[in-house]
Amino acid sequence: MVAEEHTHADKPEESKAEKAKRESRFLRGTIVEALAGPESHVNEDDAQVLKAHGGYQQYDRDARRTGGAGKAERHYFFMVRIKIPAGVLTAEQYLALDAVADELTGGSLRITSRQDFQLHVVPKRHLKATIARINHVLLTTLGACGDVVRNVMACPAPLADEPHRRIRALAMEISRELLPRSRAYRGIWLEEWSPESAASSDSDEEPFYGATYLPRKFKVGITLPDDNSVDIYAEDVGLVALPENGRVRGVNILVGGGMGLTHNKADTFARLATPLGYADIAHAVEVVRIVAAIFRDYGNRADRRHARLKYLIHERGMDWFREEFQRRASFELRPFVEIGPLPYHDYAGAHSQGDGRWFYGLVIENGRIRDFPQRRIKTGIRALIQELRPGIILTPAQDLLLTGLDDAAIPRVEAILDEHGIPRPTQLSAARRYGLACPALPTCGLAIADAERIMPVILDQFEQELQRLGLTDEPITIRMTGCPNGCSRPYTADIAFVGRSPDRYNIYVGGRLAGDRLVDLYAEKVPQERLLATLQPLLAAWRDQRLPGEGFGDYYRRTYGPGVATDIFTGAMDPVLKPESAGPAE
Ligand code: SRM
Ligand code: SF4
């Protein structure tokens, strides 16, 4: 094994973001001064550095639309993301976050598509108190955003067997191992600050990351062969732990997944992660460290649009990557073990944990926990957690599992849901259970169109149509994003709507819950009110022509061909979805 390298090979000119990181003195920037200043926002460089602390500067996109033009009139606030490895937290931690949301932010808690929580609409004057209070209950925002290893996901099922326990523990170990080490976080948010204390050290405190951290975000997911709810093929590095006689012996390693693409930029694409090999479980942390280190050393630092592992692998090829990996590894990489399509579970409703206890999966539409006029979701979940004190696991589908419940708790859960007007999971259609939408407008600075806000209406329409066709209970995944960055992982769904311009969407079809297949572009720039009408003929054809049990995406593929990137295992084709990759037109 070679020593850790920081070669930043082939180093052309660095991007603005690289410069901001380099000059930040290990994530300090001038955040302390900016927090103390009278403005409602921070400068561009500090906003960049703040991301690694878990904070995103945003502004009210609705107000900008209706208000006057120009930066000065923007109504700024921050989004704070809490990094929760494997999505596991305690009742006390939940209740503390619930209170912080009410007292210091816009009031909602939002479960993300990576098992985190986000607090939205945090005014600058409340940033320090918000982050400090999160830390007081032993949670952190460090590394939740920014150019570092992001939240490490793991299959959320709280089953009491060794493999499930092992992968949860592994997610936490990888997360700890690759957390930034800079003392800036503590100095800025947790100590009595002064410019001196927060700027205290300029020495190299980042043995792994170095002064400029990674070229961009880096995502890790871990699962078992019986569940793909983490969307393993969308990760920069995905580990599928393979049990033998009840114990995890090793991991299949997949690398180079990613969803983000840009409309009209043919050199950008979504890519499914491809097999690298198999390693003993004892080497799993080393595996992730090496893959991240190759990205650190060779990733594109001049053009952020191409600064993801998937582009590096696409450009240099898997053979180069495997060789580079092996050169750095202390062990021999073994051949990838063949695995079939991974099933998918949303864990809704009551399930046995296998230790005499139960868990109960709540379906939270778009992960948004707040009170709506008819459905008092925030109050209801708080009441549940105050009374039952369960364990909590957030899922990659923006849902929440209450864990460790005894027999008597299940009827109480359902009674409390009923009291607060929250539908029981069993009352929801499959489309509603499996649907995902990103936040988009009004908080996301990159949104082109709405997603979370209109998804409930879109699902109402699809539910009615699916009911008319007698397909209400068929598992189908419909995902929506306000732009092509892919935050709700649209490009592996049965059906995806991706914001193309305000109120218009590209429609993609042909993925499936197993997450191992990319979609085709089916129709472009469809007005929001025509989304259902555009898909109606295809839905009807699915009903009429499908094989027994055949899902929508599978029917589409059988009928219209394999599309761009279906076989990730043969390596015959690089599994990418370019912005213009079109399937058969209607
Ligand atoms: Fe994302 C940027 C929200 C998961 C790909 N994402 C953003 C930002 C921070 C917008 C920004 O840069 O200003 C969004 C904040 C909106 C808001 O108001 O909250 C945002 N992303 C989210 C969340 C909250 C969506 C959700 O519905 O839950 C998810 C937070 C995850 C977390 O807890 O860490 C979220 N983002 C994802 C995923 C899915 C995943 O990781 O499994 C992806 C696709 C996978 C991938 O990374 O390729 C994703 N987000 C992006 C991208 C495109 C990256 C790229 O390679 O081009 C951006 C844009 C960027 O980074 O410049 C982005
Ligand atoms: Fe924002 Fe686009 Fe991500 Fe949606 S997909 S949260 S609009 S960056």
Q: Return the minimum-mean-pLDDT range out of 110-124, 182-196, 346-360.
A: 182-196
Is 483 touching ligand 2 by the criterion CB < 6 Å?
yes
Higher per-residue pLDDT: 68 or 411:
411
Residue 188 tokens read as: 């800025």
pLDDT classification of 583: cutoffs 50, 70, 90: very low
- The residue contributing the CA closest to ligand 1 atom 21 is 487
Quote the ligand 2 centre to 486 CA distance (angstroms): 7
pLDDT value of position 68? 52
Query: Which residues contact residue 466 at a Cβ distance below 8 angstroms, ignoring those fewer than 6 apart?
Result: 429, 431, 472, 474, 476, 539
Cα first-last separation, the chain: 54
Contact assessment for residue 400 and residue 413, using Cβ atoms and an 8 Å cutoff = no
Rounded Cα–Cα distance for residues 95 and 93 (Å): 5
The atom of ligand 2 lying closest to the CA of 499 is 7
Residue 355 tokens read as: 């230790």
Is 482 touching ligand 2 by the criterion CB < 6 Å?
yes
HEC per residue, 102-129: HHHCCCCEEECCCCCEEEEEECHHHHHH
pLDDT classification of 7: cutoffs 50, 70, 90: low
Q: What is the pLDDT of residues 151-183, one digit of tens each?
A: 999 999 999 999 999 999 999 999 999 999 999
Quote the ligand 2 centre to 327 CA distance (angstroms): 37
Q: What is the pLDDT of residues 223-275, one digit of tens each?
A: 999 999 999 999 999 999 999 999 999 999 999 999 999 988 888 999 999 99
Contact assessment for residue 246 and residue 221, using Cβ atoms and an 8 Å cutoff = no
Quote the ligand 1 centre to 215 CA distance (angstroms): 16
Q: Which pTM value belongs to this model?
A: 0.95
Is 259 touching ligand 1 by the criterion CB < 6 Å?
yes
Please name the helix (run of DSSP H) or strand (run of DSSP E) that holds residue 524, with its range, or none: strand 520-527
Residue 482 tokens read as: 């306000």
Q: What percent of the chain has pLDDT over 90?
A: 86
Statement: residue 2 has pLDDT above 50: no
Q: What is the pLDDT of residues 512-559, one digit of tens each?
A: 999 999 999 999 999 999 999 999 999 999 999 999 999 999 999 999
Quote the ligand 2 centre to 423 CA distance (angstroms): 27
Which of 446, 454, 503, 505 is the pocket-test mutation for ligand 2 (most atoms within 8 Å of CB)? 446
- The residue contributing the CA closest to ligand 1 atom 18 is 444
Which of 308, 487, 489 is the pocket-test mutation for ligand 1 (most atoms within 8 Å of CB)? 487
Per the prediction, the chain carries an average pLDDT of 92
Is 511 touching ligand 1 by the criterion CB < 6 Å?
no
Q: Which of 520, 521, 517 is nearest to 492 (CA)?
A: 517
Is 240 touching ligand 2 by the criterion CB < 6 Å?
no
Which of 16, 77, 111, 113 is the pocket-test mutation for ligand 1 (most atoms within 8 Å of CB)? 113
Count CB atoms within 10 A of the CB of residue 493: 29
Quote the ligand 1 centre to 145 CA distance (angstroms): 9
Strands (E) across 211-258 are located at 220-223, 237-244, 247-255
Q: Give the mean model confidence (pLDDT) for residues 26-37.
A: 95
Is 444 touching ligand 2 by the criterion CB < 6 Å?
yes
Residue 81 tokens read as: 């993301």
> Helices (DSSP H) in 37-161: which residue ranges?
44-50, 61-66, 91-104, 127-136
pLDDT value of position 69? 53
pLDDT value of position 12? 62
Q: Which of 369, 379, 365 is nearest to 423 (CA)?
A: 365
Rounded Cα–Cα distance for residues 463 and 461 (Å): 5
Rounded Cα–Cα distance for residues 440 and 505 (Å): 13
Contact assessment for residue 112 and residue 148, using Cβ atoms and an 8 Å cutoff = no
Supply the residues annotated as catalytic. Answer: 81, 150, 217, 219, 438, 444, 483, 487
Is 438 touching ligand 2 by the criterion CB < 6 Å?
yes
